[in-house]
Amino acid sequence: MNWFGRKSAGRADARPVLARGWSIAQSERPWTYEDAVRSGYLANPVVQRAVRLVVLADADATALAGGANLAMLGGEAIQYGHAQPLGGAMWRLSELYRGRCGTEATITGHEAGESFALIEPATMRILAVEDAMTGAVIDAQGVGDALPIVAALATAGRALLPLSPVKLSAERVDEGFRVTWIRRSRDGFAWRDGVEVPIAEEQEAYRLMASGGGAELSAEVNAPEWLLPGDFAPAGAIVTVSVQQIGRAGLSEATTITVEI
């Protein structure tokens, strides 16, 4: 069996480095991968020693820009520049880059015992998903394993949604407020100087919503700019403006800003 990204003899593929708190009760078979790792770890002193040999490496700014030290912490993708061993298979990660790959909505709300999986190309296999998929159950059985392991995925298809816009701002003009933002692309994580990121959707389109002072207004536009009329709400009202990019498979997460009329 593969343990924490190390290949066992005769295996073509390795599993990713994955850790989790050991306080969760055992479930009936078939186990998830985390259950199998936890059970095997606690029952096998040889594996416990092997886990202590797993080393998380540091990465400088250049390596991080190239995608090094990418990991999933719960539902958030992070990168870390420095990993400090604390003993007992425990590590302290610092120089963090948070909310990578469009997962900034999951930065808050972490809990103790969440899964941590180091993402490495050599230990991954990409599975195709359909636009209409909202969840998936994945079975995997290794060579020599008596039973498959099962993992349920509640967010299948999230990668098909556009990323939320960034740098949302509102500038007061004679007609009201000029609202602008910068779009992102799920097909354009690499930073290429002098080249616009691809839209990665059938067309560029956004849905906006403004609410406050007892009034509501919605609109759809095809450019990263919108005029909020100055008479939309009474003077002094606090108005919340949200924008979502419209994609082929659905809407992005909303980005919001508040303005005073």
Is 212 in the same domain as 140?
Answer: no
CATH code (residue 223): 2.60.40.10
Q: What is the pLDDT of residue 219?
A: 96
Question: How confident is the model over 88-110, as a mean pLDDT?
Answer: 87
Domain membership of residue 256 (yes or no) is: yes
Of 128, 158, 188, at which residue does a domain stop?
A: 158
Is 67 in the same domain as 97?
Answer: yes
Is 179 in the same domain as 217?
Answer: yes
**What are the angstrom distances between the C-alpha of 176 and each of 146, 172, 210?**
67, 6, 13
Of residues 245 and 41, more confidence is placed in: 245
Is 133 in the same domain as 172?
Answer: no
Domain membership of residue 103 (yes or no) is: yes
Residue 200 is part of which domain span?
166-260
Identify whether the C-beta of residue 135 lies closer than 8 Å to the C-beta of residue 152.
Answer: yes
Q: Write out the two tokens for 171.
A: 């500038």
Question: How confident is the model over 101-113, as a mean pLDDT?
Answer: 86
Q: What is the pLDDT of residue 152?
A: 78
Identify whether the C-beta of residue 221 lies closer than 8 Å to the C-beta of residue 208.
Answer: yes
| Mean pLDDT computed over every residue of the chain | 78
Query: Tens digit of pLDDT for each residue in 71-83?
Result: 999 889 999 999 9
Domain membership of residue 1 (yes or no) is: no
Mark 111-150 as b/e (b = at least 16 C-beta within 10 Å). eeeeebbbbbeebeeeeebeeeeeeeeeeeeeeeeeeebb
Identify whether the C-beta of residue 217 lies closer than 8 Å to the C-beta of residue 232.
Answer: yes
Q: What is the pLDDT of residue 16?
A: 45
Is 54 in the same domain as 131?
Answer: yes
Is 107 in the same domain as 181?
Answer: no
List residues bridging with 96 in a β-sheet: 80
Is 136 in the same domain as 185?
Answer: no
Domain membership of residue 134 (yes or no) is: yes
* Confidence band, pLDDT 50/70/90 cuts, at residue 132: low
Is 88 in the same domain as 195?
Answer: no
User: For residue 10, how far is the Cα from the chain centroid?
Assistant: 33
- DSSP, collapsed to helix, strand or coil, labels residue 122 as helix
Identify whether the C-beta of residue 217 lies closer than 8 Å to the C-beta of residue 133.
Answer: no
Q: Write out the two tokens for 19.
A: 């850790």
Is 153 in the same domain as 172?
Answer: no
Is 180 in the same domain as 96?
Answer: no
- DSSP, collapsed to helix, strand or coil, labels residue 57 as coil
User: For residue 4, how far is the Cα from the chain centroid?
Assistant: 21
pLDDT at 92 exceeding the cut of 70: yes
Of residues 52 and 182, more confidence is placed in: 182
Q: In what order do the strands lie in the sheet with 166-173?
A: 166-173, 176-182, 225-229
Q: What is the pLDDT of residue 191?
A: 66
Domain membership of residue 3 (yes or no) is: no
Looking at the structure of the chain, the number of domains it has is 2
Q: Write out the two tokens for 14.
A: 């390795």
pTM (2 d.p.): 0.66
* % of the chain with per-residue pLDDT over 90: 35
Is 215 in the same domain as 154?
Answer: no
DSSP for 219-255, written as a single string = EEESSSEEEEETTSS-TT-EEEEEEEEB-SS-BPPPE
